[in-house]
Amino acid sequence: MQAQNTITQMRRGFLEFCIVSLLANNEVYTAELIDRLKKANLLVTDGTLYPLLNRLQKAGLLQYRWEESESGPPRKYYSLTEPGRKLLNELDSAWQDINESVKLIRSGTKKLTKVQTNE
Amino acid sequence: MNKVVSIEIAGQVFSTDEEAYEVLHAYLKKIHVQLSAEEEAADILNDIELRIAELLYAFRSDDKKAISIEQVNEVIEQVGFIDSDIEAIETPRRFFLDQQNKIIAGVCAGLAMRFRVPAFIVRLIFLLLTPLAGLGIILYLVFWMSFDSNTSRNAVLAAQGKAQTAKSIAAVGGKSEGAAHQIQRIIFLPFSLIGALFTVIANHFRKRSGGYLRIMKNIVAFVLLGFATTACIIMYAAFNARVFPTLIALLLFIAAMYLVVLGLAIYFRDYYLSNPHFQIARRLKVGAVIPAGMLVATMFFLLNAWDVYQQETIERSYPLAGNLLNLQFIEDRPLDTAYGSVRISMKTSDSPGNQVRIAVDYSGYGFNAANAEENLRNVEYVYALNGNTLELNEFWSLSEGELSRGQRVNVLIEVPQNVAVRSLWPLVINRDGSPYIYSVGHSYYDDGGTYLASGEYFHEVDAGFRDRLSENERVVLQDKFCEEFYISEYRNCRYHIQMPVQRNYQFDRAFQEDLETIEQVRTYLLPNRSLFVSNLYEVNDLIQNLSVNLTAMSEFQEYLLYLAEVKLNPQLL
């Protein structure tokens, strides 16, 4: 039960990182975003994603534009804003630091490195 | 056969089974409720509807059939609920306000959910507890304040101790709008109105809380500044009052100033200013204990110092040459020590002879009788009788370096009969004395004059009063009138002389038949008209014509005639 809680928290944190990563180089529309996250086993239901996207957009990290679709309702294409790109870079280096720290600890090395968390 | 309905979702039109529509509708409603805590609920709901439309569109393109309930369930399973990817977490049972089934605030419904009993029973229990000294209402308020409000479905499940999965969330609250609940809504309508009112008021205050907070802060700041100013004035007065030796008074003054300044600084820094520029060191706050302790100790010391009251009267008699007494007042007030004003009063002597008696009454407080006596002996007061002139100091003072302990000085001068008193200050009759006592006090619009001691009265005998009655004489006249025509508690009449006789329930009914005559007499005595000696005879005539035959002359009538006599033949020097 405790593990499950931690896992949920971790997954939630990484979800934000993954969304920003997916948008790193190109515009992506919502359904595609959902598909790719589901394939990566990061998402169980679509409902979770929407409040998150909304929050990121309100924080000025994401922007979107509407595009008419030939088959079906109009699509919302998301892309990164300038602050979003900055966030991605910071999260990226933080992730690399954490990854290395975890590796170091798990490999049994006693040499400690200070984990740098960028704000 | 199935009925098919047309629905529009995110700008797209679909045809669905009626059953499928019901399920979809209920699902969207639940999502809406679940989102009600979210700020951008409308945007998120639009996104979700768009997603549903997208998924349904995929079904429609397959074939031309109406969308079935299975397909809708598939969509719901995929879209799920907000945050519903938390899988099978066992949550502790908790108390929540149930917003879905609430009547007032959802306390009863929340308790019912937690204990899995019908909400109706919980509501009845609260109602039955209310006659017991309002226990029901008190408990309700306590629960209301202590429970979290339950806006998300997850919270409902937490209250029921159930896992939060998409399916379990969908299953919650389905029966909330049942007939039983509808009936309860009707039965508890007054309570639900109260609840709605509270909600409206609470919402108002929540939305405007910033503004109200600013107003409150300003008011508190003003009140505090007012208090501080008052405190400084009181401290200054206390410092000058010689309650303590100079050094101790100075220390106490500093201690109190420190507390006032520190209190103001803490308030303005921590509560009034949003971005204070300086910090108040903790040491300064802790340091406040010492001055506070000093002041509290002072309080206890002073309570003891004022414990015993002592009084001492020193009486002296002086023979008066001739029939005139001159009263003069001097303002001899020392600057470096405490002082107080002296109360001077006069009365006529009932013993024969030509002695003026002067009684000086000292009083004061102390830790014990001996100390109190010592304190009152520290008072310095002098008066001098030179021939016919009595010189009185307006103030008493303390001997050098002595402390103030509530000392007071009263002077009573007893004047022999038929002596004229020439005073620079006016004599004002004190109605509560028996016999009458006249206080002598400084007045800005009255210069005093010459008074003749006669009987128990002092009569003004200056030229202006030869034919006219003075205010003091009118007061005595009113008193006699009240004593005569009103029942026992005549005092009440004296202070309500303006009230017509008919309306005063203390009017003596023995004079019922002469009510109008007596009313006429009363109007003579009112303070808004001058009374002349001739009026006294008119009043006397009215009294003589009363239908009640008085065997002896009444006191009122006696005084009328006595007054007329004195006014017309003053036995002047």
Q: Kindly report which listed range (B32-46, B85-99, B558-572) carries the lowest average pLDDT score.
A: B85-99
CB distance B47–A43 less than 8 Å? no
Higher pLDDT, A112 or B286: B286
Over residues B166-192, the mean pLDDT reads 65
Question: How is the beta sheet containing B383-386 ordered, strand by strand?
Answer: B383-386, B389-393, B324-330, B420-423, B449-454, B457-460
Q: What's the mean pLDDT when you consider all of chain A?
A: 81
Residue A63: inside a domain = yes
Q: Is the peptide bond before B291 cis (omega within 30 degrees of 0)?
A: no
Structural domain includes residue A35: yes
The CA distance from B483 to B352, in Å, is: 29
Retrieve residue B233's tokens: 């004035």
- Main-chain dihedrals φ then ψ at residue A54, nearest 5 degrees: -60, -45
Least confident of A94-108, B59-73, B260-274, B477-491: B59-73
Report H helices in chain A.
Answer: 2-22, 30-39, 49-58, 82-106
Contacts of A76 in chain B (CB under 8 A): 47, 50
A111 vs B309, more confident: B309
| pLDDT value of residue B372 | 93
Could you give the count of Cα atoms lying within 13 Å of B284 in the half-sphere of its Cβ? Answer: 11
- Is the pLDDT assigned to residue B156 strictly greater than 70? no
Model confidence pLDDT, tens digit, residues B24-44: 888 888 887 777 766 777 888
| Residues of chain B neighbouring A47 (CB-CB closer than 8 A) | 31, 48, 79-84
Q: What is the pLDDT of residue B143?
A: 85
The answer to whether B465 and B532 have CB atoms below 8 angstroms apart is no
Res. B281: pLDDT tops 60: yes
Q: Least CA distance to A32: which residue of chain B?
A: B51
Nearest Cβ partner of A46 from B58, B61, B79?
B79
Q: Mean pLDDT, to the nearest integer, of B104-129? A: 83
Q: DSSP E strands: which ranges in B148-298?
A: 148-150
What local confidence, expressed as pLDDT, does residue B191 receive?
80
Domain span at residue A69 reads 2-81
| Percent of chain B surpassing pLDDT 90 | 30
**B329-375: pLDDT as tens digits:** 998 887 777 889 999 999 999 888 889 999 999 999 999 999 999 99
Range in A92-96, B189-193, B213-217, B455-459 with the lowest mean pLDDT: B189-193
Residue A101 inside a domain? The answer is no
Given this model, what pLDDT does residue A36 score? 87
- Contact status of A58 with chain B (Cβ, < 8 Å): yes
Chain B contact probe: residue of A50, A53, A67, A77 with most B CBs at under 10 A = A50
Lowest mean pLDDT among A6-10, B408-412, B504-508: A6-10
Intra-chain end-to-end CA distance of chain A, in Å: 31
Answer yes or no: is A19 within a domain.
yes
Least Cα separation, residue B112 to chain A (angstroms): 27
- Provide mean pLDDT across the span B522-547: 89
Per-residue pLDDT, averaged over B218-223, amounts to 93
Give the integer Cα–Cα distance in Å for B329 and B382.
12
CB atoms within 10 A of CB B11: 10
In three-state secondary structure terms, B213 is: helix
Do the beta carbons of residue B502 and residue B542 sit within 8 Å? Answer: no
pLDDT at B545 over 80: yes
Domain count, chain A: 1
**Residue B379 clears pLDDT 80, i.e. is over it:** yes
Q: How far is CA B107 from the centre of its chain?
A: 36
User: What are the structure tokens assigned to B505, written together?
Assistant: 């329930």
Q: Specify if A113 maps to a domain.
A: no
Question: What's the start-to-end Cα distance of chain B, in Å?
Answer: 133
pLDDT of residue B399: 85
Q: Which of A1, A4, A48 sits opposite B82 (nearest CB)?
A: A48
Give the pLDDT confidence score for residue B328 in this predicted structure.
Answer: 92
Residues 38-57 on B with a CB inside 8 Å of A are: 38, 40, 43-44, 47-48, 50-51, 53-54, 57
The token duo for B21 is: 């529509």
B83 contacts A48? CB cut-off 8 A: yes
Size of interface A-B (CB pairs under 8 A): 83
Please report the residues numbered 25 through 44 in chain A whose beta carbons come closer than 8 angstroms to any beta carbon of chain B: 30-31, 34, 43-44
Inter-chain residue contact A45 with B81, CB threshold 8 Å: yes
Residue A88 counted as domain residue: no
Name every residue whose Cβ is closer than 8 Å to that of residue B46 and which is 6 or more positions away in sequence: B10
In a mutational test of the A interface, the residue from B12, B14, B82, B85 whose CB has the highest number of chain A CBs within 10 Å is B85
Test A47 with B80 for CB contact under 8 angstroms: yes
Sign of CA dihedral A92, A94, A95, A101: positive
Between residues B61 and A89, which one has the greater pLDDT? Answer: A89
Section B526-553 average pLDDT: 85
Note the pLDDT of residue B87. Answer: 38
In angstroms, rounded to a whole number, what is the distance separating the alpha carbons of residues B323 and B356?
A: 11
pLDDT of residue B174 exceeding 50, the answer is: no
Q: Which of B46, B58, B76, B43 is nearest to A45 (CA)?
A: B76
β-sheet bridge partners, residue B319:
B355
pLDDT of residue B89: 38
Whether B50 sits inside 8 A of A44 (CB atoms) is: no
* Position A5 pLDDT exceeds 80: no
B472 pLDDT band (50/70/90 cuts)? very high
Highest mean pLDDT among B187-196, B200-209, B558-567: B558-567
Instruction: Indicate which CATH number applies to the domain containing A28.
Output: 1.10.10.10
| pLDDT tens-digit readout, B476-505 | 999 888 888 888 665 678 788 888 888 888
Range scoring the smallest mean pLDDT among B9-13, B325-329, B342-346: B9-13
pLDDT for the residue numbered B513: 86
Is A58's CB within 8 Å of B40's CB? yes
Could you tell me if B80 lies within 8 Å of chain A, comparing CB atoms? yes
Would residue A61 count as lying in a domain? yes
Q: Do A73 and B78 touch (CB under 8 A)?
A: no
Model confidence at B91: pLDDT above 70: no
Give the residue-averaged pLDDT of B118-128.
86
Position A8 in a domain: yes
Give A78 to chain B, closest Cα distance, Å: 13
- Reference B165, options B87, B236, B249, B280; nearest CA is B87
Kindly report the average pLDDT of chain B as a whole number: 83
Disruptive mutation site among B67, B83, B151, B164 for chain A (greatest number of A CBs within 10 Å):
B83
Interchain contact, B50 vs A11, CB within 8 Å: no
* Of A8, A58, A49, residue with least CA distance to A29: A49
pLDDT at A15: 84
- The ipTM value here is 0.77
A37 Cβ neighbours under 8 A, 6+ residues apart: A15, A18, A19, A22, A43, A49
Residue B457 confidence (pLDDT) above 50: yes
* Pairwise CA distance, residues B374 & B353, whole Å: 36
Number of H helices and number of E strands within chain B?
20, 19
